[in-house]
Structure 1
Amino acid sequence: MSQCSISSLRKGPITVISLILITCALMLCASAAFPRLALIFDDIKHPAFEVKSVLSRFVSGGDKAGEIEIVIGELKVQDYVWKNIRLSCGTFQYGRTAMQCEDGYVRIPEFIAFPVAFHVFFDAQTLTIKGFPAKNESWEVALQWNNISWQGVVTIHDISLDSIAKWLPDQEKVPMPGDGRVSGNVSFSGNGADLRTAAMDLSIEKLAFSDRGGLHAGDNISLLLKGGINRAPHQSRWHWHSDVYWQQGEVFWQPIYMAGSDHYLNLQGIFDGETIRLMESAVKLNGLGVFDFSGILDLSSKQLSTLELKADGVRLSALYEQLLQPFLRNTAFAEIQLTGDVDWLVRVEDGVVQSLQIDFDEVSIVDARNRFAFYRINAHIPWLFEGATVADISFLSGHVLSIPLGEVRVPLELNQFDIFLPQVTLPVLDGHLKLENFGAKYTEDGWRWKFNGGLTPISMEALTNVLQTQPMHGTLSGYIPEVNFDGNTVSVNGVLQLSVFDGSIVMHNLKLIEPMGLAPHLMADIAMRNLDLELLTGTFSFGKVEGRVDIDVQNLELANWVPVHFDAHLFSSSGSYSRRISQAAIENISALGGKGAVAAIQRSILRFFEEFRYAEIGWRCKLRLNICYMGGIDAEPESRYTLIQGGGVPAITVIGYNREVGWQELISRLQRITSENEPIIQ
């Protein structure tokens, strides 16, 4: 056997196909003199690939036929490496104008093995290679060349994407195809060693993919892929374009889920080796809107040096459901309904947003838990990274915690990440809530804001009606000192003052944690002074009580607006005023300890009186772990406590014995008379 060795081959557009042609041509020329021939290529290098240790063997069978085998020790294409690639042909036919193999075979150990066929026509300068990876699957490479240029087409017919995935590196975070088939063609042309044009037209059916962690997956996806690149002679810039038509399927890309139908992506631009310039590109999401964008991607830093993103008439309901909602979990906006349209224009330079403009058109925001709602919002919000702007925001109506708000227009002053509002007045029922010196700032830990203001008198009857609580009479007004929000907690710096029931309420140490969360938590110390008992008890159908009381509530804690801890003390206000109480009121006060009061009144001469005089009223409750530890006017023995101290004629005294009552049971007893632990009425 004759043997020839080539230690290194570095120049020219060498490819695996070129290697086959060179080998076959050399064997063709030498076959007459050497029936058995072997060629060895030690090293072949090209900018696109590297080949090591190539052995080509030829055995002539006479009559221009023979057997040929090519063994490639290692083939490296970028980060992909394949070893011991073996191409064999048992019936290799050759002549001066053509070579062909109909029964070739390609093997890569523990990877792939499938039949191939190839034809070379030297006079027509064409090459055709066909592969048959599996039943009903095939691909074909057709090349044609001359002394100046060359061109080719790769045709794919129903190839399994699972088999293509074998050629990809196994990476944990990269989704890999698990199902699907691809058909279509890829064409290309060039001059000498230079590629000039390439185009693709592919269809993918029933694509499924996933990664190992299950954070990225898709199923039953159908795509059409079209695109092309071209480069003019003597230019280093590539002009390119691509179109992706997403016809059907569903994708989960943590945390976004989308069901695809008639979505479209168009990309076009210029590639110069250092940057990718996007020009007049767009993505259309069916049922949502069209997003136009352009920009420049710096490949060395892998950052967008510039980007402009524009959207007109985007449906907020679809934007929220498909894109925003997964990012708003565990926030106040996790369960909202949005209607209306939004436009925006964003400009980015060197990875930093330089300007932003958002316009709302008849937008409504409604919380599913009915905590807040704002209807018919119209807004023009311009923002600059460097510079001040003024935003114009208005809404027709709304409510917060069931409290209705009237029409309002808000001019916001924006200066980078600072927001300032000198003054705004919000209609609230028959009064107004005035906010002054509102300032907000975005920090690394989220938003911070503060304000102060006041509330003009509003009807308690109207307020309790919208809150769907027990009707109350009188008015509510107050002064609001500086209120701060630190990203999690609303706190009041100073004293919050309210006027209600012809008395005053002062709140100290007021804090509201996660006010719009699923379980808001409130803490405060409250001092109520000189409340009119007739207004208060009449409100709750408690029975008539004339007089005035003070109430102290220390260490109050509410979880999801339900009391979980407090120290409460109700006692008669100082001063001279009428102190009378009706039998109905006595019955309800006695309900704290049982229904015996009713029987005692009925059994005595006191039942003939509708009202009684008293000297003092007192009640204490320490709420701990849903148990109310009760007391009365003064510190008394554990067995008894005085709720009402009689005075005048006729007088009545109510004494209770039940020191511990479940909180829910206590609330129940204020609504109905029970039969436990009779109080003594004297």
Structure 2
Amino acid sequence: MLTLAAPAFAQQIALHIEDIAAPTFQASGISAELESSRFTATIKQLSVQGHDWKNVRLTCPAIILERDTIACTQGTLTEEQSWPVRFSYAPGAKQLMLDLSLPAREHWHVEARWGKRWDIAANIDNGKAAHFRTWLPQDMPAPSAGVINGKLNFSGSDTNLLAADMDLRLAGIAFSDTSGLHAGEKISGKVRLTAHPVNRELVWQGEALWDQGEIYWDPLYLTGGARLSARGRLDPQRVTLAQASLHWPAIGDISASGSWDRTSRSLSASSFQGTQLALDPLYRSFALPFLGKTALAKSAASGKMDIAGRFAEGKIQSLDLTLDHAALQDKDGRFALRDVHLKLPWRAQAATSADFGVGGGQVLSLPLGGFTAAIQMQDKKFSTPRLDIPLLGGALGIENFQATSSPQGWRWEFEGGLTPVSMEQLSAALHWPKMHGTLAGVVPRVRYDAGKLTLDGALLIKAFDGTAVIQDLALLDALGPAPRLQANIDMRNLDLDLLTRTFSFGSMQGRIDVSVKGLELSNWKPVAFDGSVRSSPGDYPRKISQRAVQNISSLGGAGAAAAIQRSFLGIFEQFGYSQLGLSCVLKNGVCHMGGIAPAPNGYIIVKGGGIPAITVIGYNPSVSWDELITRLQRVTQGNSTPVVQ
């Protein structure tokens, strides 16, 4: 409705224009003045798609005023900024044409018609993406750079969208949010969408091409090179995705379908499938960003993967996963699995079995042989009755393995044992001095829950012709960047001859007991323990070589070297002893040392016995742990000398 009011004696006309209302466009508080041919109009509030502008001012120096049309060919539109504008408004026909010309060759042409049916059409040339900042929700990253070219067409009835046609080209788009956790740069591509009514539904199809640019969406970092095409239906209750295809050349092709409930705003059903996907870029881009604080943080994967899944009723209902000639390897060489094969058909409501096989691998330089396993699956429970992993001529046996997923994370447990492993092969694999004999053990029930691994009983190991028992073992944050280990260790009747020959320590005959109480490791480095080495009880030969005397004395400190009697030591190659012992209580980086008995200004490490006999005394009661480790690393150089009595 257009009304004119002016005194008979005035050259001025005041206009009142009724409010404009459409489902996506409203204007209210419109007032205007016409003086000669100069026209000025103010809109108190303008709303587009729920976003408001206040006190929008339009100035036209030469208005065209006809029976049912107001037009301007050279006007200025002012809100926070000023832009050249031309427009044509027909109140009776409820039509509006708006043409904006902005700097940098930016041009917007909008035509709108409202009433029982409404239409909005826009042509955009070099449109700045930053203009859309005010149209986006507050929690979405805001565009800050880039241009948009293309066209938009929407039509409908009342609040219902009946047809849509969108064809946009994006170039140099950049966006970010205040947290810095979501950002993009130099993004270019195309977006195409069409929709039309069929049997009271809106049938749509679209395509999006992302050919350049970078996106960081914490913790994911992705680069361009993907095409998505999709088609589906829209009704008042749901959005249906009939088919979607994602083509990512570096990874492969993934298809999906699904349904979104518009009332509950939730995914009611979906399915997806991918065949022969490349594991390397898939693992690097979508898995590693979530593994930054685990032992897998520096790992790499390779091979091919097939995957298919179905989601319904708010839960995953099925998952089929196949790995073919896959591999997982730590870049620091801590572990590796090669030639991995997996066929996993998981179902939420049925018991199934998966086939798993590994061609070979390694853990901390220890080579693993190939093995296979059948994994039983029932909902979120996984188990296997027996798994034997070949290791250095023996095998690590895992029995009754069970794993369960819970809201707090994964829980698993198993028991087993280690059949005799060649010590020679073990020392070669770890680049240690050559050791002799075998290593075997019995593994009690092992439990893992909430990042903590514990033993229910004692771990029994046979080595160096003796036994070792590990109790109260607990490993915390096992897959984290700084795992912590706690344990108590008792070793009995170890053969000194085997030990000293192994580490080039010098020849020693006898047996020893080793006790380590309250052991604590942080990132595999000792931070606390109460440890001791003592001669085992019993009747057996007790001899110590000149080389071993020198190395033992070096652990007792520099005072021993100052008191040496070189002439006496050089006469004999071996000495007798009755007892030996050394202890260390580690606390705050300092080792508080002791021996089998106190001595003047020190402690006895080796007590003489037989002919010839020798006693070794240590003089340093406290030693930095780092210094003690340095001494241990030097003992094979023979550059320390003992006290001889």
Normalised by the length of structure 2, the TM-score is 0.90
Partner of 2:61: 90
Q: Aligned Cα RMSD in Å?
A: 3.3
Does the 8 Å CA contact 2:111/2:122 hold for their aligned counterparts? yes
Cα distance in 2 between the residues matched to 1:326 and 1:524: 33
Partner of 1:155: 123
Does residue 52 of the first structure (1) align with residue 28 of the second (2)? Answer: yes
Partner-residue secondary structure (3-state), 1:618: strand
Partner of 1:10: none
Does the 8 Å CA contact 2:559/2:619 hold for their aligned counterparts? no
Cα distance in 2 between the residues matched to 1:506 and 1:162: 68
Cα distance in 1 between the residues matched to 2:116 and 2:590: 96
* 1:111-190 equivalences in 2 (<5 Å): 111-118=80-87, 129-141=98-110, 153-165=121-133, 167-168=134-135, 171=138, 173-188=139-154
Does the 8 Å CA contact 1:638/1:659 hold for their aligned counterparts? no
Partner-residue secondary structure (3-state), 2:287: helix
Cα distance in 1 between the residues matched to 2:520 and 2:117: 83
Partner-residue secondary structure (3-state), 1:681: coil
* 1:559-638 equivalences in 2 (<5 Å): 559-593=522-556, 594=558, 600=564, 602-604=566-568, 607-634=570-597, 636-637=598-599
Does residue 657 of the first structure (1) align with residue 619 of the second (2)? Answer: yes
Partner-residue secondary structure (3-state), 1:399: strand
Measure how far apart 1:95 and its partner are.
6.2
Partner-residue secondary structure (3-state), 1:468: coil
Does the 8 Å CA contact 2:563/2:642 hold for their aligned counterparts? no
1:299 paired residue among 256, 262, 283? 262
Partner of 2:447: 484
Does the 8 Å CA contact 1:452/1:480 hold for their aligned counterparts? yes
Cα distance in 2 between the residues matched to 1:433 and 1:73: 80
Distance 1:197 1:435, change over 3 A: same
2:180 paired residue among 210, 214, 227? 214
Distance 1:71 1:463, change over 3 A: same
Does the 8 Å CA contact 1:40/1:53 hold for their aligned counterparts? no
Cα distance in 1 between the residues matched to 2:553 and 2:487: 29
Does the 8 Å CA contact 1:219/1:249 hold for their aligned counterparts? yes
Measure how far apart 1:141 and its partner are.
3.6
Measure how far apart 1:477 and its partner are.
0.3
Partner of 1:9: none
Does residue 528 of the first structure (1) align with residue 528 of the second (2)? Answer: no
Cα distance in 2 between the residues matched to 1:175 and 1:466: 53
Does the 8 Å CA contact 1:435/1:451 hold for their aligned counterparts? yes
Query: What do the CA deviations read for 1:128-166 (whole angstroms, capped 9, x no partner)?
Result: 542213352222246899x9999775222112222343x
Cα distance in 1 between the residues matched to 2:411 and 2:442: 22
Number of matched pairs = 639
Distance 1:573 1:455, change over 3 A: same
Moved more, 181-190 or 452-461: 181-190
Distance 1:152 1:607, change over 3 A: closer
Query: What do the CA deviations read for 1:460-488 (whole angstroms, capped 9, x no partner)?
Result: 12112212233321110011111111232
Does the 8 Å CA contact 1:372/1:398 hold for their aligned counterparts? yes
Partner of 1:200: 166
Does the 8 Å CA contact 1:198/1:228 hold for their aligned counterparts? yes
Measure how far apart 1:552 and its partner are.
1.6
Normalised by the length of structure 1, the TM-score is 0.86
Partner-residue secondary structure (3-state), 2:126: strand
Partner of 1:226: 192
Structure 2 portions without partners, runs of 5+: none
Cα distance in 1 between the residues matched to 2:29 and 2:350: 65
Measure how far apart 1:338 and its partner are.
0.9
Cα distance in 2 between the residues matched to 1:339 and 1:151: 52
Query: What do the CA deviations read for 1:631-658 (whole angstroms, capped 9, x no partner)?
Result: 2223x25623222222222322323333
1:106 paired residue among 77, 81, 96? 77
2:354 paired residue among 378, 391, 395? 391
Measure how far apart 1:277 and its partner are.
0.5
Measure how far apart 1:67 and its partner are.
5.0
% of aligned pairs identical?
Answer: 37
Partner of 1:75: 46
Q: Please tell me the residue identity of whatever aligns with 1:229.
A: A
Does residue 242 of the first structure (1) align with residue 206 of the second (2)? Answer: yes
2:16 paired residue among 32, 35, 40? 40
1:255 paired residue among 195, 219, 223? 219
Distance 1:622 1:133, change over 3 A: same
Partner of 1:644: 606
Does the 8 Å CA contact 1:553/1:569 hold for their aligned counterparts? yes
Query: What do the CA deviations read for 1:505-531 (whole angstroms, capped 9, x no partner)?
Result: 111111222333333322221111111
1:519 paired residue among 460, 463, 482? 482
Does the 8 Å CA contact 2:492/2:536 hold for their aligned counterparts? yes
Partner-residue secondary structure (3-state), 1:515: coil
Measure how far apart 1:363 and its partner are.
0.9
Does the 8 Å CA contact 2:24/2:48 hold for their aligned counterparts? yes
Measure how far apart 1:413 and its partner are.
0.9
Measure how far apart 1:497 and its partner are.
0.6
Partner of 2:423: 460
2:501 paired residue among 538, 553, 559? 538
Cα distance in 2 between the residues matched to 1:503 and 1:624: 29
Does the 8 Å CA contact 1:220/1:249 hold for their aligned counterparts? yes
Does the 8 Å CA contact 1:419/1:441 hold for their aligned counterparts? yes
Does the 8 Å CA contact 2:23/2:159 hold for their aligned counterparts? no
Partner-residue secondary structure (3-state), 2:295: coil
Cα distance in 2 between the residues matched to 1:532 and 1:192: 92
Moved more, 221-230 or 135-144: 135-144
Partner-residue secondary structure (3-state), 1:666: helix
Does residue 426 of the first structure (1) align with residue 389 of the second (2)? Answer: yes
Measure how far apart 1:42 and its partner are.
5.5
Distance 1:500 1:125, change over 3 A: closer
Measure how far apart 1:383 and its partner are.
1.6
Does the 8 Å CA contact 1:596/1:675 hold for their aligned counterparts? no
Moved more, 584-593 or 217-226: 584-593
Q: Please tell me the residue identity of whatever aligns with 1:655.
A: I
Larger Rg: 1
Does residue 370 of the first structure (1) align with residue 333 of the second (2)? Answer: yes
Distance 1:196 1:541, change over 3 A: closer
Q: Please tell me the residue identity of whatever aligns with 1:470.
A: P
Does the 8 Å CA contact 2:49/2:135 hold for their aligned counterparts? no
